[in-house]
């Protein structure tokens, strides 16, 4: 049976010191540990330990570097979240526009348009839950006005309150014969329906990490993405190897590729570069960043003419 008593912040500081972590100010460490849990910060000092079982730190490991890693991770999540917001709003708009015109405003609950009926049932259940939590006056007014209509509100009302995860699942589950699936992919420089679903799935997953304040620095990301061999817009010269898909860099590249289309003139490159300048102790390799990544056409330019 697992038995472990809780420790005070003073005991935590003493324990860290006994394991070799340099702490220059006990009061400062006490402040951080009283606002950021020992367990959460442990995700950042784990890489500083040479003996993972006994939790012994490498020489010159400093508590201030742990806090810097934590702050860097927080700020890169905010940058990514801001980027994903723009992509999410664009995807929502395109799904509503293209598919409502190709079919009707209730296309998203038309089982004939989707490959996996069971998956659609789950997605619709999530959408139902999302709508039930919403306090939006437009939705409330719709339900009051159309009590006898058992359908969801039309796409332009329903999907405005649908999560990125549900949107990406709706798109990925569409049959390949649906013309809008290819049209939306082309709008995003993804050529056809083959590639975009995995991009959206990756972004949805990373968005969840951001929304739940989970660590992105030095995290191995599950799953892979399908990459175009010859994208129509600026991309990176060397396509990452399969094992590199676990790192954040290739996923950042996909977001930047989409962002250059959704928001030309964006400042993602300069903001990301400023973060590395602000936190020089952060190893870019922990994110899978390539050397001179800023010089890649993808990161250097916004969108090819």
Same domain, 14 and 73: no
Same domain, 44 and 111: no
* Cα distance between the two ends of the chain: 64
Q: What is the number of alpha carbons within 13 Å of residue 133 lying toward its C-beta? A: 9
Does residue 1 fall inside a structural domain?
A: no
Same domain, 163 and 20: no
Same domain, 88 and 125: yes
| pLDDT tens, the chain, 305 aa long | 767 788 999 999 999 999 999 999 999 999 999 999 999 999 999 999 999 899 999 999 999 999 999 999 999 999 999 999 999 999 999 999 999 999 999 999 999 999 999 999 999 999 999 888 888 888 888 888 887 777 889 999 999 999 999 999 999 999 999 999 999 999 999 999 999 999 999 999 999 999 999 999 989 887 778 988 889 999 998 777 777 788 999 999 999 999 999 999 999 999 999 999 999 999 998 899 988 899 999 998 654 43
Does residue 53 fall inside a structural domain?
A: yes
Does residue 31 fall inside a structural domain?
A: yes
Does residue 45 fall inside a structural domain?
A: yes
Same domain, 122 and 88: yes
Domain that holds residue 57: 9-61
Does residue 102 fall inside a structural domain?
A: yes
Same domain, 83 and 189: yes
Same domain, 55 and 73: no
Report d(CA 59, CA 301) in Å as an integer: 42
Does residue 4 fall inside a structural domain?
A: no
Same domain, 22 and 74: no
Domain end point (choices 61, 81, 103) = 61
Same domain, 198 and 278: yes
* Residue 265 CB partners (closer than 8 Å, separation 6+): 302
Domain end point (choices 61, 84, 100) = 61
Same domain, 87 and 39: no
Same domain, 187 and 239: yes
Does residue 82 fall inside a structural domain?
A: yes
Same domain, 274 and 198: yes
Report d(CA 262, CA 92) in Å as an integer: 12
Does residue 39 fall inside a structural domain?
A: yes
How many distinct structural domains can be found in the chain? 2
């Amino acid at each position: 049976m697992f038995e472990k008593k809780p420790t005070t912040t003073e005991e935590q500081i003493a324990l860290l010191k006994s394991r070799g972590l340099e702490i220059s100010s006990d009061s400062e460490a006490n402040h951080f540990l009283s606002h950021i849990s020992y367990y959460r910060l442990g995700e950042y000092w784990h890489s500083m330990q040479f003996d993972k079982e006994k939790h012994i730190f490498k020489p010159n490991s400093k508590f201030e570097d742990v806090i810097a890693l934590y702050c860097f991770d927080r700020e890169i999540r905010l940058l990514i979240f801001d980027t994903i917001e723009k992509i999410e709003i664009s995807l929502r708009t395109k799904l509503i526009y293209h598919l409502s015109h190709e079919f009707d405003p209730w296309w998203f609950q038309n089982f004939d348009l989707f490959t996996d009926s069971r998956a659609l049932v789950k997605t619709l259940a999530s959408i139902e839950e999302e709508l039930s939590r919403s306090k939006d006056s437009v939705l409330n007014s719709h339900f009051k006005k159309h009590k006898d209509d058992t359908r969801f509100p039309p796409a332009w009302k329903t999907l405005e309150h649908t999560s990125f995860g549900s949107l990406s699942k709706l798109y990925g589950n569409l049959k390949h014969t649906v013309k809008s699936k290819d049209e939306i992919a082309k709008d995003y420089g993804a050529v056809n329906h083959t590639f975009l679903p995995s991009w959206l799935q990756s972004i949805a997953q990373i968005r969840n990490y951001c929304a739940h304040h989970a660590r992105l620095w030095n995290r191995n990301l599950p799953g892979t993405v399908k990459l175009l061999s010859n994208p129509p817009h600026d991309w990176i010269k060397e396509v990452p190897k399969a094992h590199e898909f676990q790192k954040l860099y290739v996923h950042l590249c996909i977001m930047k590729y989409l962002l250059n289309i959704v928001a030309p003139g964006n400042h993602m490159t300069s903001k990301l570069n400023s973060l590395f300048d602000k936190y020089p102790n952060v190893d870019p390799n922990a994110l899978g960043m390539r050397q001179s990544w800023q010089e890649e056409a993808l990161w250097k330019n916004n969108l090819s003419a």
